[in-house]
Amino acid sequence: MQPKRYAIVDLETTGGRASRHKIIEVGIVLHDGQQVLDTYSSLVNPECYVPYGITQLTGITQEMVQDAPKFYEVARKIVEMTEGAIFVAHNVRFDYSFLREEFKRLGYTYSRRNLCTVRLSRKAFPGLPSYSLGNLIKWMGWKADARHRALDDALATAELLRRILAEEDNQKQVVDMVNLGIKESLLPKSFDMEKMHALPEECGVYYLHNAQGEVVYVGKSINIKKRIAEHFADKTEKAGKLQRHVHDISYEITGSELVALLLESHEIKRLHPPINRAQRVRRFPYLVHTFTDEAGYICYEATQANAARRKTLQVISEYPKFAHARNHLNRVREALELCARLCKLQPGNSGPCFHYHIKQCYGACAEQESVEDYNERAMAAREVLSTVFEEDFFLLDQGREPGELAVILVKNGNYQGFGYLDEEGLNGSMDNLRDAITPYAGNPETTRLIQRYLNKKPHLKRIPVQTEAVEW
């Protein structure tokens, strides 16, 4: 059964960033899925300059908005027209985020179930070269004389929605999209769909709280709303725990996926949430270290060592359990065809290892392979095993909004913390980068997180710490 009312919204704005730009026109079409019930439109005084490019696109000039009502004067009408309706827009994230931000400035939390006609059109009309509203208007053969004016674009979006809803299969898609694939019966009793739709579709860390406000689970996602919806849509044992115990949700937007990974790891260790299992370990008493034997061969060993002994060893990596250290070393040994005896994975200090007899070792243990040939592979193993960086650097990733950068610091071989910096503040001295960093404790897990992320995104900008001046 399809929802009874849709509030189809289109906004014209001074730019593309909800946190910095303002609304200059609002258009709303109230629709029942078959016909228009009501409409509303108004210019809005943004209390700021309307850029020339926006005037060229929309036809809205500074003179047109200077005597228009300010947002707080139209806010009540927007609330009334959209209350109890599904909030619909073509690229709903854009329009919804602008309204949420404007209401936030007024001290009001604006929350509505929402539906994106871009996503819906992709499912209803697969294979089109573009799903922009302009292209869909042309493809449908509609007449639209006043594009990029709020009410006219809202009316075009309403007609698009009507045509989509005319097909019964599409009605089911709409219900599923509006409910994020969740059966409301699976939601925690204190959490409704309105709260779900208030969650951001952005990258960050989220916290699930019980009725006492305690954090029971910490997670990260590149789309917080989608990931939490998946938790509540699943029927796994873990999902069942969340559905029973979660009372509220909080979150922190990070922008950078790497920052989200690092912050999630830190928060799990700090809060020790009962439903989290991974990354709760705080101690790493086991290690892999390296040394050179009397014949000149590079050797490795997995062992336990206290603080005093560690000072005498060339530590390569650290682990919470001995099995983790030994298994990691063995996997690297197999991949690079190293000698099990020289990796201290087989007993004895002399003579051929077992793998030599079955022709899975080139014979360094029996001095049948040259030191040079063996050590070339052994040096490669160090890079794979290492949880220590050989250089100090700042790593730059995307920030929480356009024009902002996430900054991650690696120093003295380990992760040191992260922060944020405007791109404009990057050009200049190294002090700007240092001042942006909030300290966080590093550990072998955070090093591996950074290493894996760099393997996935090798072109991220690195700035050596010793650099005197930074250019961007």
Any idea which residues carry the catalytic annotation?
A: 148
Q: Which element (helix H / strand E) includes 416?
A: strand 414-422
Identify whether the C-beta of residue 398 lies closer than 8 Å to the C-beta of residue 255.
yes
3-state helix, strand, coil in the chain (%, to 5): 40, 20, 40
Q: Is 156 exposed, middle or buried (0-12, 13-18, 19+ CB in 10 A)?
A: buried
Q: What residues contact 187, with CB distance under 8 A and at least 6 apart?
A: 193, 196, 232, 243
- For residue 324 the two structure tokens come to 């983790």
DSSP for residue 159: H
Q: List, in sequence order, every residue forming a beta bridge with 393; answer none if it has no partner.
A: 410, 464
Residue 367 burial (CB count, 10 A) = 12
The number of CA neighbours under 13 Å toward the Cβ of 27 is 19
Among candidate residues 60, 65, 72, the one with its CA nearest the CA of residue 45: 65
Among candidate residues 344, 339, 341, the one with its CA nearest the CA of residue 316: 344
